[in-house]
């Protein structure tokens, strides 16, 4: 569905129906989808012409050299990017590459992914892959977008091979705050530790100013928070209970 149509539809929904949708949580989902798609439509225009700058951002602020040294991703490895968006890390690494995103069908209408990248519609809370399928899973600035982060992490762990690596990038807040429909969570470092539990072993933990790729491409280096970049190994045993 076109994001402009979603906005028009939402604008013209009668107030009583809006109230029902709000109680059911459907209004929030419409807001979330339209906001995320609108951003990606605009970002695509910049990304197409600035892939070198995006790679530069990964090198400078997201420690891609260190990630590559630890993971040593090769062409025969299976790699997944959860919540891949348009400017997925899959553009810049080797491997048999897969991307999952709830808006993948819409993205493919506005952006032509390289042929070697397999992007499909899917949700992080229910990944359409068998157990222990991937050598590496990335989730870059996406965990705070999902409705249920703990379920997403359970699914990432399930689809990782034994001793597989999970590369997580997420904006860190000092305290929980209300954000916007596209970002239902403001994640603190304490919350990240709770979510990871005993399911992953930290191999690398670094911090950078959170600038944002689009802002960086457009010349900004201003940041409001820090971004945490972690390389995590799948633990052999797991916590008994997920953190909701």
With a cut of 50, list the residues of the chain below it in pLDDT.
Answer: 1-13, 17-18, 20-22, 24-29, 240-244
Contact 94, 73 (CB under 8 A): yes
What is the tens place of the pLDDT at every residue in 200-209? 999 999 999 9
Q: What is the Cα–Cα distance from 85 to 44, expressed in whole angstroms?
A: 10
Q: What is the Cα–Cα distance from 208 to 60, expressed in whole angstroms?
A: 9
The whole-number pLDDT of residue 161 equals 97
Contact 154, 242 (CB under 8 A): yes
Taking CA atoms, 74 is separated from 78, 79, 95, 130, in Å, by: 9, 10, 5, 21
The whole-number pLDDT of residue 112 equals 96
pTM of the predicted protein model: 0.83
Strand partners, 228: 170, 207
Strand partners, 79: 97, 136
Domains and CATH numbers, the chain: 51-234 (3.40.50.150)
């Amino acid at each position: 569905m076109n994001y402009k149509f979603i906005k028009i539809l939402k604008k013209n929904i009668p107030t009583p129906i809006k109230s029902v949708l709000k109680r059911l949580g459907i209004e929030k989902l419409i807001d979330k989808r339209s906001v995320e798609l609108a951003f990606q439509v605009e970002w695509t225009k910049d990304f197409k012409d600035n892939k070198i700058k995006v790679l530069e951002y990964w090198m400078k602020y997201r420690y891609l050299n260190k990630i590559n040294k630890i993971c040593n991703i090769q062409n025969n490895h299976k790699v997944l990017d959860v919540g891949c968006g348009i400017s997925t890390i899959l553009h810049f690494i080797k491997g048999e590459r897969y991307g999952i995103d709830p808006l993948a069908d819409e993205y493919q209408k506005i952006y032509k992914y390289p042929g070697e990248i397999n992007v499909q519609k899917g949700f992080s809370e229910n990944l359409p892959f068998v157990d222990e399928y991937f050598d590496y899973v990335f989730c870059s600035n996406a965990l705070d977008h999902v409705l249920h982060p703990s379920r997403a992490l359970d699914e990432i762990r399930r689809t990782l091979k034994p001793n597989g690596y999970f590369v997580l990038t997420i904006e860190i807040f000092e305290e929980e705050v209300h954000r916007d429909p596209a970002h239902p969570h403001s994640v603190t470092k304490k919350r990240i530790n709770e979510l990871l539990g005993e399911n992953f072993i930290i191999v690398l933990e670094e911090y950078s100013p959170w600038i944002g790729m689009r802002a960086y491409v457009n010349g900004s280096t201003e940041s409001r928070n820090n971004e945490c970049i972690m390389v995590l190994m799948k633990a052999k045993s797991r916590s008994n209970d997920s953190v909701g």
